[in-house]
Amino acid sequence: NAGVTQTPKFQVLKTGQSMTLQCAQDMNHEYMSWYRQDPGMGLRLIHYSVGAGITDQGEVPNGYNVSRSTTEDFPLRLLSAAPSQTSVYFCASSYVAGPYNEQFFGPGTRLTVL
Amino acid sequence: TQLLEQSPQFLSIQEGENLTVYCNSSSVFSSLQWYRQEPGEGPVLLVTVVTGGEVKKLKRLTFQFGDARKDSSLHITAAQPGDTGLYLCAGDNNGNQFYFGTGTSLTVIP
């Protein structure tokens, strides 16, 4: 099993550009989520999904879109990048939502918006 | 809104010393998790505590959930260089979301 994979590992964008961060898992997990990590802020939840076809907003959803067409994939789209979106982005998955299920994190995507 | 505050933010100690990291909130959580993150990698789950007053031990690491389920602590005995990393607490609000703490960066000097 590859676990949770994320691509790309690094990305530099100019303000106003769009891009999609890819996330895939091969563990047949129902719950998937996207976090951003900024210095001194811990991880903040952007969007999450409890299953294919179902998505919901987290703590900081503005400027980001998600979709969940399959169980395996959960892409994160930046429609018009802004410098405030410079961050490290982590995708995570677990069997289902809730505290008894371990979240497995991907290796992260480091994004810089100029 | 940052619901969980961790202290200290940075900690540098000598190998063999003991340390405690705190995770505090004004909110009640149904459970609390502790993660360790190494540079360039995603967080890895260490433990989940779900009952007020619960204590869990993982080798030299002891985790405690406060009686009121608003706070937690992580105590490391005889720290080793391999314990170096960023320690994160995360609280579950009995829904589908986890709220992460601000993180404690630990460096253990050989």
What type of residue is B83? Answer: D
Query: Would you call B30 an interface residue with chain A, using a CB distance cutoff of 8 Å?
Result: yes
Q: Concatenated DSSP letters for B49-60?
A: E-STT-EEEETT
Instruction: Give me the pLDDT at residue B92, please.
Output: 84
For residue A41, the chain B residues in CB contact (below 8 A) are: 2, 102
Task: Point out the residue among B1, B2, B41 whose CB comes nearest to the CB of A107.
Answer: B41
For residue A43, the chain B residues in CB contact (below 8 A) are: 43, 88, 90, 100
> Do the chains contact at B98 and A31, CB–CB below 8 Å?
no
Instruction: Give me the pLDDT at residue B97, please.
Output: 83
Query: Would you call A50 an interface residue with chain B, using a CB distance cutoff of 8 Å?
Result: yes
Per-residue pLDDT of B18-46, as tens digits, reads 999 999 999 888 889 999 999 889 999 99
Instruction: Give me the pLDDT at residue B1, please.
Output: 55
> Do the chains contact at A42 and B9, CB–CB below 8 Å?
no
Size of interface A-B (CB pairs under 8 A): 64
Per-residue pLDDT of B59-101, as tens digits, reads 999 999 999 999 999 999 999 999 999 999 999 876 778 889 9
Pairing, β B10-14 against β B104-109? parallel
Helix (H, G, I), strand (E, B) or coil at B9: coil
Q: Which residue in the block uniquely carries the two structure tokens 């930046």?
A: A78
Q: Are A71 and A96 in contact (CB under 8 A)?
A: no
For residue A44, the chain B residues in CB contact (below 8 A) are: 100
For residue A103, the chain B residues in CB contact (below 8 A) are: 45, 98
Per-residue pLDDT of chain A (114 residues; tens, 9 = 90+): 779 999 999 999 999 999 999 999 999 999 999 999 998 778 999 999 999 999 999 999 999 999 999 999 999 999 999 999 999 999 999 987 777 778 899 999 999 999
The CB density around residue B55, as the number of other CB atoms within 10 Å, is 12
> Do the chains contact at B96 and A90, CB–CB below 8 Å?
no
